[in-house]
Amino acid sequence: MAGRHKELTAEDGKSCPNKKTMNKLTIALQKSGRLHEDSVKLLKECGIDISNGLNKLKIEAENFPLEVFFFRDDDIPQYVEEGVADIGIVGENVLVEKQSEVTVVEPLGFGKCRLSLAVPRQADYTGINWLNGKRIATSYKNLLQQYLNSQQIQAEIHEISGSVEIAPGIGLADAICDLVSSGSTLFANGLKEAEIIFKSEAVLIAHRELSAEKQHLLNKLLFRIKAVKKSKHNKYILLNAPNEKLDVICRILPGMKSPTILPLAEPGWSSVHSVVHEDKFWEIIEQLKAEGAQGILVVPIEKMIV
> What does the binding site for ligand PRT look like in residue numbers (CB under 6 A)?
30, 33-35, 72-74, 91, 93-94, 111, 113, 178-185, 200
Residue nearest to ligand PRT (CB): 91
Q: How many CA atoms lie within 13 A of 178 on its CB side?
A: 30
Query: Quick one: 9 or 32, whose CB is closer to ligand PRT?
Result: 32
* Shortest CB 131 distance to ligand PRT, Å: 20
| Residue 25: φ, ψ to 5° | -95, 140
Residue 276 forms beta bridges with which residues?
Answer: 235
| Rounded Cα distance, 298 and 235, in Å | 6
Which CA distances in Å does 212 have to 25, 41, 216, 226, 258?
Answer: 11, 27, 6, 21, 38
Q: For residues 238-263, b (16+ Cβ closer than 10 Å) or e, as one string? A: ebbbbeebbeebbebbeeeeebeeee
What is the size of the binding site for Zn ion (CB under 5 A)?
A: 2
- Tell me how many degrees the CA angle 210-80-19 measures, rounded to the nearest 5: 65
Query: Quick one: 2 or 188, whose CB is closer to ligand PRT?
Result: 188
| Rounded Cα distance, 245 and 35, in Å | 47
Question: Which residues neighbour 20 within 8 Å (Cβ) at sequence distance 6 or greater?
Answer: none
DSSP state of 124: -
Question: Applying CB under 5 A, does 74 fall inside the site for Zn ion?
Answer: yes
Question: Applying CB under 5 A, does 81 fall inside the site for Zn ion?
Answer: no
Question: Applying CB under 5 A, does 78 fall inside the site for Zn ion?
Answer: no
- Tell me how many degrees the CA angle 121-125-130 measures, rounded to the nearest 5: 130
* Shortest CB 111 distance to ligand PRT, Å: 4
* Shortest CB 67 distance to ligand PRT, Å: 19
Query: Quick one: 31 or 235, whose CB is closer to ligand PRT?
Result: 31
Query: Quick one: 75 or 174, whose CB is closer to Zn ion?
Result: 75
Question: Applying CB under 5 A, does 73 fall inside the site for Zn ion?
Answer: yes
Query: Quick one: 93 or 274, whose CB is closer to ligand PRT?
Result: 93
Q: Taking Cα atoms as reference points, which of 106, 117, 107 lies closest to residue 167?
A: 117
Query: Quick one: 90 or 237, whose CB is closer to ligand PRT?
Result: 90
Partner from Zn ion, ligand PRT, none binding residue 180, C-beta < 5-8 Å depending on class:
ligand PRT
Residue nearest to Zn ion (CB): 74
* Shortest CB 293 distance to ligand PRT, Å: 39
* Shortest CB 200 distance to Zn ion, Å: 13
Partner from ligand PRT, Zn ion, none binding residue 183, C-beta < 5-8 Å depending on class:
ligand PRT
Residues that bind Zn ion (CB under 5 A): 73-74
